């Protein structure tokens, strides 16, 4: 079990609002069957970030399946070389500013093979690259002091590990 299962379990256990994966929700709303159907990837990335920030802005506490760090990671991986630097910098600043509202981050390293659902990249090399990008963003945004890296690989152990870290 991965990130989404853990986010769901923790939101129920801690009685916190869950912000689901915004990009998947928007893909469904827009009628995209998979990621290749998105023609305007820059516009889509901006829409995902705006929806993520809006979902977070009115909540003092929440569990998010993804967040501003993920938005910047995907932008770096897919879009930074095709956009103007001022656009990239504006996107970076929005992601960074949004991340300042986080007080706890759980980093889940790739521990098992991802299942292809049409919206998730499953290539092992791609997943390693994304993991490295996210780690570098956590460092760049100075979020490492509030970040916990999971060590276990099943949902019950993961939930207990996080609750222990949170001292709940």
Percent of the chain with pLDDT over 90: 75
**Which pLDDT value is given to residue 2?**
78
Q: Shortest CA distance to 30 belongs to which of 55, 49, 47?
A: 47
> Low-confidence residues of the chain, pLDDT below 70?
1, 168
Check residue 66 and report its DSSP letter: S
**Which pLDDT value is given to residue 140?**
98
Contact between 105 and 143 under an 8 Å Cβ cutoff? The reply is yes
**Which pLDDT value is given to residue 168?**
66
pTM value is 0.92
Which domain CATH number covers 53? 3.40.50.300
Strand runs (DSSP E) across the chain, as ranges? 18-19, 63-64, 105-107, 147-149
> Distances from the Cα of 127 to the Cαs of 30, 89, 108, 161, in angstroms?
25, 25, 12, 23
- For the chain, what is the mean pLDDT? 92
Per the structure, the count of domains in the chain is 1
**Which pLDDT value is given to residue 115?**
76
How many C-alpha atoms does 42 have within 13 Å on its Cβ side?
A: 10
> 92-104 pLDDT, tens per residue?
999 999 999 999 9
**Which pLDDT value is given to residue 1?**
53
Domain of residue 18 covers: 3-166
């Amino acid at each position: 079990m991965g990130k989404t299962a853990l986010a769901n379990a923790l939101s129920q256990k801690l009685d916190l609002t869950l912000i689901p994966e915004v990009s998947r929700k928007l893909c469904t709303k827009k009628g995209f069957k998979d990621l290749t159907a998105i023609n305007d990837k820059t516009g889509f990335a901006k829409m995902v970030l705006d929806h993520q920030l809006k979902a977070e802005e009115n909540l003092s506490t929440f569990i998010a399946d993804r967040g501003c760090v993920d938005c910047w990671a995907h932008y770096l991986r897919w879009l930074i070389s095709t956009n103007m630097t001022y656009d990239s910098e504006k996107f970076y600043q929005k992601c960074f500013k949004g991340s300042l509202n986080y007080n706890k981050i759980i980093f889940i390293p790739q521990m098992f093979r991802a299942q292809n659902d049409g919206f998730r990249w499953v290539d092992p090399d791609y997943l390693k690259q994304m993991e490295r990008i996210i780690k570098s963003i956590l460092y760049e945004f100075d979020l490492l002091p509030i970040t916990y890296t999971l060590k276990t690989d099943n949902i019950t152990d993961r939930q207990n590990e996080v609750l222990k870290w949170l001292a709940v």
